[in-house]
Amino acid sequence: MLKRIIYILITIAIAAFFIWRYFIYFDWPARCFIRIQPSLLEFSNLTMQKAIRILKNASPSDYRDLCQYVNVINPNLSCGGFQGGCYSAYKQNPRTIDVSTSNRSLQWTVGIIVHETCHAKQFQQNRDFSETECYDEDSRVIKTITEF
């Protein structure tokens, strides 16, 4: 009986660890909590985690925006296509961004995260969508990381 309970507890612990590792980005000191949806195409959840950490180190202000305006990242292929991202506030949660990780590089993924966060911010601040603003932000960040 005790053996069975221990077995069940271990199984739950392992499952919890995997959920934690792959599907949740959590940074307690920054009060940052982001759910990463399971990716159907690839093991991209860890790529996303890595990209968020790079952003945190390279550009703290963009990281703060991400934590403030986004709480779900969908890493699956969406309206942005391969290597792209997408923000569509009307069909879903305004705090969800789509970021495909089938990308050229991690820097590129970070750039897309920043680009889509910029749209989420525009929407939540009741501003008009501006591609110029968001492209400027993502190229600025990619430049920062490259120099980093």
Query: What is the closest distance, in whole angstroms, from the C-beta atom of residue 48 to Zn ion in the complex?
Result: 18
SS3 (DSSP) at 38: coil
Shortest reach from residue 57's CB to Zn ion, in Å? 24
Q: Which is nearer to Zn ion, 53 or 95 (CB)?
A: 95
Q: How far is the CB of 102 from Zn ion (least distance, A)?
A: 18
Site size toward Zn ion, by CB under 5 A: 2
Six-digit token pair at 61? 């202000």
Burial 80-93 (b: 16+ CB within 10 A, else e): beeebbbbbbeeee
Residues 119-148 that bind Zn ion (CB under 5 A): 131, 134
Q: What is the DSSP letter of 34?
A: E
Gap between the Cα atoms of 131 and 147, Å rounded: 24
Copy the structure tokens of residue 103.
Answer: 């990308």
Shortest approach of Zn ion to residue 117 CB, angstroms?
11
**Dihedral angle over CA of 137, 130, 81, 92, nearest 10:** 110
**Residue whose CB is less far from Zn ion, 20 or 129:** 129
- Binding pattern for the stretch 86-125 against Zn ion, x by CB under 5 A and - elsewhere: ----------------------------------------
- Residues forming the site for Zn ion (CB under 5 A): 131, 134
